[in-house]
Every structure is written in structure tokens, then in C-alpha cells.
Amino acid sequence: MSKTEVDDATISRVLMYIQRFGDLNPRILGALAHNKNMDSVIKLIKEEFSLNVSYIARYKSIGLKALFFC
């Protein structure tokens, strides 16, 4: 299996888009980052750097309030 060669600028750009949009659809991320082999880049980042993506709800951005009851 041949490894994909990726430069640091591409990794930085891909991480920015993953941070902003998540990693659910690599084709959309590839279109935004102008990278045709986004599937292999995301796979490389996940394997080499142990990338784990978790999602945090931003209540204010969608007009909700977080309330805590005791």
C-alpha cells in the first residue's frame, strides 16, 4: 500500500476545514480545500496523528439557551 505524500500546508488547511465543518463528508471538504484526494488525506491524518473528531453544540449560534436545573 502506497502512502500519500502530503505537505504541511495541505494538512493545516484540511485541519482548519475539519475544525469548522467536521469530517462527515470528505467530498465537500475536498471541494472547499481544492483537494481531489481528501479521503486519503483525512485517513492519513487520522492514522498518523490520531485525529478524533467530537462535536460540541453551540447553542447561541442556533438561537437556543443552555439552562441547568438542580
User: What DSSP letter does each residue of 19-51 carry, written as one string?
Assistant: HHH-SS-HHHHHHHHT-TTHHHHHHHHHHHH--
Whether 40 maps to a domain, the answer reads yes
55 in a domain, yes or no?
A: no
Is residue 19 one of the residues assigned to a domain? yes
Whether the per-residue pLDDT at 47 is higher than 80: the answer is yes
What span, in angstroms and rounded, lies between the C-alpha atoms of 52 and 66?
Answer: 25
* Residue 38 falls inside a structural domain: yes
**Its pTM surpasses 0.85:** no
Domain contains 31: yes
CA atoms of 57 and 42, how far apart (whole Å)? 23
Range of the domain at 35: 8-48
Note the pLDDT tens digit of each residue in 16-46.
Answer: 888 888 887 888 888 988 888 888 888 888 8
Q: Total domain count for the chain?
A: 1
